[in-house]
Each structure stands twice: as structure tokens, then as C-alpha cells.
Amino acid sequence: MTVAEIEQYLAPIRHEYPDPRSLIIPALKYAQGDAGWLPPEAMAAVAEATGFSQAYVESVATFYDRLYVDEVGRYCINVCVTLSCMLRGSDELFEHIADYLGLDGEGTTDDGMFTLARVQCIGACDRAPCLQVDSGVQLGPLEPADATCLIDDLRAEPAPARYDR
């Protein structure tokens, strides 16, 4: 991701952000689309394109959970563990997915395909227990077996051209 590419992306939307600090988030989201996460070079490019210091850009990136400053897998599976989902079995769902992926709790699979995380409410309590893959629609209610199918389907998909987290 080059500075020029980020600047090109920002050009038509700059006027929507009267406080230039607000521009950092769309810029980071766009930059994250490239590799699926934000390596230091990507944050440095955002810093240059937005005119803020690298440290400031990183401080914004680390504030938000969906901006990843550490490398993640091709798909981020975010399992909701807030009240409604927990009452409806999110713990079992999470453990099943972790087992199926061969993970000990949260983390990234060795093949780099999946990153599994517990997240707070994703706003689909009527479909508890639910999960979200990247920024896709919330999926639920899920039985453990449904999750197995989902993972198998994702594994068969070709790698996305750009990531939307």
C-alpha cells in the first residue's frame, strides 16, 4: 500500500471530514484492505497521507479492535460472548470452533487461514449465539455443527482480493 494509493482513495472523501484527525480511520481501514492487517509500513503510509505522526496513527489503530496491528489469518472469526450469546451457549460454540481449528483458545491457525477471537456484543442478540466473519453479516443462531460447515466452506473459498474487516 503506497502513500499515493491512500491519497487517491482519500481525495474524494476528504471534504466529509472537517477535522482531519477523523480521516485517519477510513485511511487505516483502506490500508488494512491490502494485507488484512496493518504492518508498520502501512501505518507509516497512512501517517504520511494524512499528515499525522506515525505514533499518533498507531495510537488510533491500537484503540480500535477491528484495526489489526498484529498479523491475523485470512478470516477473522469473532464469536460474541456477551450476555445473550453466553446464555445461549457461546462458550460451547467457541470451544467447538477452537477444537475444530486446532487452537487452544483465541489465536491464529498455523496455516494462517483463521484467527479466532471472543468479542463483545455484535448486535444480533435475537440470533444468539452468533458470530461474525470479518465485517460480514452476523451469523446465528449457530449450533456447533453449523460452525463446522461454515469453516469448511470458508476453507474452500479463494483468497479475497481485498480484505474488509
Partner 1 sequence: MADAGNTPAAGGDAAGAGGAPADVVSLTVNGRTIEAPKGTMLVDAAKAAGIEIPIFCYEPRLGAPIGACRMCLVEVEGMRGLQTACSTPVAPDMVVNTESEVAKDAQDGVLELLLANHPLDCPVCDKGGECPLQDRTFRFGPGETRTVEPKMHFPKPLDLSPLVALDRERCIACYRCVRFSQEVAEDGQLTFQERGDHTEIATFSGDPYEGRFTGNTIDLCPVGALTSNPYRFVSRPWDIKNTPSVCAGCSMGCNVEVTERDNEVKRLTARPEPNMAVEEGWICDRGRWGYPALRSADRIDAPLLVDAVGRRKVLLDRAVNEAGGLLGGRDLRVGILLGEPVTVETGFLATELAERAGNGAGMVRRMGIPGHGLGPLRDLPGAQMHHLDAADVIVVVGGDPCAQQPVAELRLRKAHRRGARVVLAGPRPTALDPACQVLRTTPGHLQDAAPAIAEVLEGSARAIVLWDEADLAAEPDAAATIAAVVAGTPGARAIELAADVSGPGLRALGIDAPGDLLAAIEAGEVDVLVTVQADPTTGPDGDRWSQAIAGVPRVIEMATYRSGLTDRADLVLPLLTALEDEGVLVSMTGRAQRLRPAARECPDAAAAWEIIIALTHRLGRPVPDRTPAQAFARLAAVHAPFAGLSYGALGTTGAVVAASSHGGPAPRREAPGDGLLVVPCTPVFGDATAHRSDALASVLEPTRVGLAPAEADRLGVRTEARVRIATPHGEAVLPLEVDSRLHEGAAYLFTGDPQAGAMRLLPLDRGPVRAVVGVVQREEVSA
Using CB under 8 A as the binding rule, whether residue 135 contacts partner 1 is answered as: no
Among the residue ranges 26-34, 46-54, 84-92, 106-114, the one whose residues contact partner 1 (CB under 8 A): 46-54
Using CB under 8 A as the binding rule, whether residue 62 contacts partner 1 is answered as: yes
Q: Give kind and range of the element (H or E) at residue 76.
A: strand 75-80
C-alpha cell at 45: 503510509
Going by C-beta distance under 8 Å and a sequence separation of 6 or more, which residues neighbour residue 97?
Answer: 77, 79, 116, 131, 144, 147, 151
Binding partner 1 (rule: CB under 8 A), the pick from 44, 86, 119, 122 is 44
Binding partner 1 (rule: CB under 8 A), the pick from 40, 102, 123, 136 is 40
Of 55 and 156, nearer to partner 1 (C-beta) is 55
Strand-pairing partners, residue 114, are 75
Q: How far is the CB of 131 from partner 1 (least distance, A)?
A: 22
Q: How far is the CB of 20 from partner 1 (least distance, A)?
A: 15
Among the residue ranges 48-56, 80-88, 96-104, 130-138, the one whose residues contact partner 1 (CB under 8 A): 48-56
- With cell 480500535, the residue in question is 64
DSSP 114: E
Strand-pairing partners, residue 131, are 79, 139
Q: Which of left, alpha, beta for 107 (phi over 0: left; psi -120 to 50: alpha)? A: left
Among the residue ranges 52-60, 83-91, 94-102, 136-144, the one whose residues contact partner 1 (CB under 8 A): 52-60
Using CB under 8 A as the binding rule, whether residue 43 contacts partner 1 is answered as: yes
